Structures are given as C-alpha cells and as structure tokens.
C-alpha cells in the first residue's frame, strides 16, 4: 500500500489540476502474515472498526488501515521532508511521525524534524487521537505541506511523539492525511483540503479518486478537477446526509432482485481509508448465509463464479458491486471482503463503503455542493 512519486502540476485550459499518483502495495495484514505475526497482532489489537465512526469522538483505530493498499507521497517543510500517507476520506487530521517519537514504530518510518525546516512554527497545543488500543499523542505545528506541487502554507499538522503498538513498525505508511470535514478534526485542526480551498489553490472545490483493481497501476487522488476519461458513463450526484464524514443515505441493498438489508433505509460513509465493506452485524450474517460463506467469511473459490452482484440502492439509482470486487483471493483461498460492524446513527444503521466499493466507481468528493459523485468504471 504505498510509497510513490508525485506528478508535478498539470495546467488545464480552465485552471489547475493536481494529481497525486497512488501506489498499490502489500497491506499491513499481508506483511504481518508473512512475518508470522498476524495471529499475535489480532490477539493484542482487538479489531474495532466501529470506533472510527462514533460521532463527537476523535478516534482513529489503527486496525482500520490493516488492509489498505493505496498510498501517496507528500512533503512537509523547507527543504521538503517526504512522507508516505493514506489519503483518508474517513478522517480529517494530518499527522506524521516526528523525531520526538522514540517508539519502535517511529524509528522505522520517516520522521519529521522541525529543526531542519526554516518554515516550521511550533505551538504549545497537544494532539491526542485514541485508537482501538493505545493512542497516538503528539504536538501540533505549522509548516508548508506540498501535495503534488500544491504548496499549502502554514498548514497545521500533528507531530507524533508516541504511537501505539510495536506492530506499527510493519505498516507501509508513515502517517494519515484526512480528507473529511473540519467538524470531526481532533484539536480543531483545519484539514489540508480546507486550506487548499481557502487559499484558492484548487480550480474547483472538489477532489476525485480512482483506485485500480488487482495489480493495475494508475490509481490517483485528483485535487481541484474531474478527469473526463473516467466519467464517460455519466455522474450520479448524491447529496450528503451529514457534513462530518462523506456520509450519504442509502435506500436498500438487494441481491438477485430481492432486498436483503437496509430495507428501511440506512446511512453509508464513502471511505478511502477502509478497504472492506463494513456491514451491520445483522446484514452481515444475512449476506454470509445468502452467499454461502462461513461465519468468518470463507467461501469456496469454485462457487465464486456463480455469485450474484450486491446492489446498493442510493438516491433512486442502482450501484452494483460484482463478486470479483467483493471476493478476496489469497494463496488459493477465497473470502468475502465484508466486515461485521454496528454503529447506529440517528438516521439508521451505518455501512462503510470502502475500497471494495470505490474500485468499481470513479468517486468525486464535492465540497462546493456537499455531494458525492459516482461514475461506474468499465
């Protein structure tokens, strides 16, 4: 999941677009499995995907990023110091490890050194982000952040001083760049994209994401523009139901023409920082049974060819996710890319449409209209 080179600015006839290439790499889960450490990790770090989305609490469960495979590079400071980050639409803070951090995890990653940046401004403010187990603590500072040639001056960010768990040592990324709304930012920090908009650094107040399938290259986050190459099938615009995460209302989920979940309506968050489809527990059990999977999600690879698409009914339209998208293949075994989770909201149960969903669509996150745009990919 990560490491990469950024393209420089590309001028458009109408203005400016900035594309951040994303490199697909092995996930933390894959790396831990290869090291024979996965079982131990899961015992020490109970998986709690739901914690990320409790309203009013700044929580970033590290486990949410266990399956991420897409990463981009940014730089901070003058001269620039490079970091590999998850571009996460499910959180709002920017943070990276710092030289003040002595945790084993920090020592194995790029660490920001404020003494080596002539543009760094320190503060006395602290940052605390709770994880499923442990926490990340640090201080807040200001510096120039470069995202593929967009220079965001005086961007507030977190300099991690402690990071939870020795297993962070194996993560293929250094930090997180949140792309959700200011309302959920820890310590009231202004998100990077909000400063891009305020400083008129993007042509349009939106960004878009393309995630490649399998081992294909070409994944990117595009700031300030929509790439028409990926919208030939048209764009379906969906209004947000909350300006916190990129949250939308969903009418139902069906299989083979029959509603099987979310029959009374529910909420969904479009989240690039979560790989799987996170499904309410009751719906998860129903889908496991209907699709012929075990309670842990394992399924016969031979049966995959006969599986139906999952149809998400959103804003009066159908958005299918075929079995090639929601079935994971690894070392001759197959499993469903679904994770049980329960986070009730005032508007109904909550689903997380992670990378499994996003790989099927070119997704546009429009802050000007507070809508999500979906364009089905070939």
Q: Is the dihedral of CA 208, 76, 60, 339 positive or negative?
A: positive
Q: CA-CA distance, 128 to 131, in Å (whole number)?
A: 10
Give the E-state strand segments of 172-250 in sequence order.
Answer: 175-178, 206-210, 220-223, 236-243, 246-250
Closest alpha carbon to 122 in 157, 97, 163, 83: 157
Q: How far apart are the first and last CA of the chain?
A: 23
**C-alpha dihedral, 188 to 193 to 197 to 203, nearest 10°:** 180
**Secondary structure (3-state) at 364:** strand
332-359 in b/e form (b: 16+ CB < 10 A) is eebbbbbbbbebebeebbbbbbbbbbbb
- According to DSSP, the residues that pair with 138 across neighbouring strands are 127, 160
How many C-beta neighbours within 10 Å does residue 231 have? Answer: 17
- Helix then strand then coil, % of the chain, to nearest 5: 20, 40, 40
Strand ordering across the sheet containing 333-336: 298-299, 333-336, 327-330
Catalytic residue numbers, as ranges: 88, 271
Place of tokens 């527990």: 281
Contact of 323 with 304, CB cutoff 8 Å: yes
* DSSP conformational letter for 212: -
Q: Counting Cβ atoms within 10 Å, is residue 134 exposed (0-12), middle (13-18) or buried (19+)?
A: middle
Q: CA-CA distance, 262 to 297, in Å (whole number)?
A: 20
How many C-beta neighbours within 10 Å does residue 328 have? Answer: 17
């Amino acid at each position: 999941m990560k490491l990469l080179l950024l393209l420089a600015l590309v001028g458009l006839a109408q203005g400016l677009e900035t594309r951040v290439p994303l490199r697909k790499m092995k996930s933390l889960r894959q790396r831990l499995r290869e090291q024979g450490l996965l079982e131990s990790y899961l015992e020490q770090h109970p998986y709690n995907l739901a914690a990320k989305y409790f309203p009013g609490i700044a929580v970033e469960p590290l486990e949410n990023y266990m399956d991420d495979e897409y990463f981009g590079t940014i730089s901070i400071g003058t001269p620039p110091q490079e970091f590999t980050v998850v571009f996460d639409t499910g959180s709002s803070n920017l943070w990276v490890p710092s030289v003040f951090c002595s945790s084993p995890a920090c020592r194995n990653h790029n660490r920001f050194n404020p003494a080596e940046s002539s543009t760094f401004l320190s503060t006395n403010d602290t940052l605390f982000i709770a994880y499923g187990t442990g926490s990340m603590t640090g201080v807040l500072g200001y510096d120039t952040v470069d995202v593929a040639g967009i220079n965001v001056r005086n961007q507030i960010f977190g300099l991690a001083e402690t990071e939870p768990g020795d297993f962070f040592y194996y993560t293929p990324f250094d930090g997180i760049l949140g792309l959700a709304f200011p309302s959920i930012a820890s310590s009231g920090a202004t998100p990077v994209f909000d400063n891009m908009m305020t400083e008129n650094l993007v042509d349009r107040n939106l960004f878009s994401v393309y995630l490649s399938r399998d081992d294909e290259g070409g994944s990117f986050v595009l700031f300030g523009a929509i790439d028409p190459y990926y919208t030939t099938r048209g764009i379906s615009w969906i209004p947000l139901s909350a300006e916190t995460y990129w949250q939308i209302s969903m009418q139902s989920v069906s299989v083979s023409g029959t509603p099987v979940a979310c029959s009374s309506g529910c909420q969904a968050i479009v989240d690039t920082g979560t790989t799987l489809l996170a499904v309410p527990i009751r719906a998860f059990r129903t889908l496991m049974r209907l699709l012929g999977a075990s309670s842990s999600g394992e399924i016969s690879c031979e049966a995959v060819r006969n599986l139906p698409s999952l149809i998400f009914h959103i804003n009066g339209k159908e958005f299918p996710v075929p079995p090639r998208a929601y079935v994971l293949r690894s070392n001759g075994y197959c499993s469903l890319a679904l994770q049980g989770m329960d986070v009730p909201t005032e508007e109904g149960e909550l689903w997380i449409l992670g990378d499994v969903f996003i790989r099927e669509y070119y997704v546009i996150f429009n802050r000007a209209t507070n809508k999500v745009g979906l364009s089905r990919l070939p």
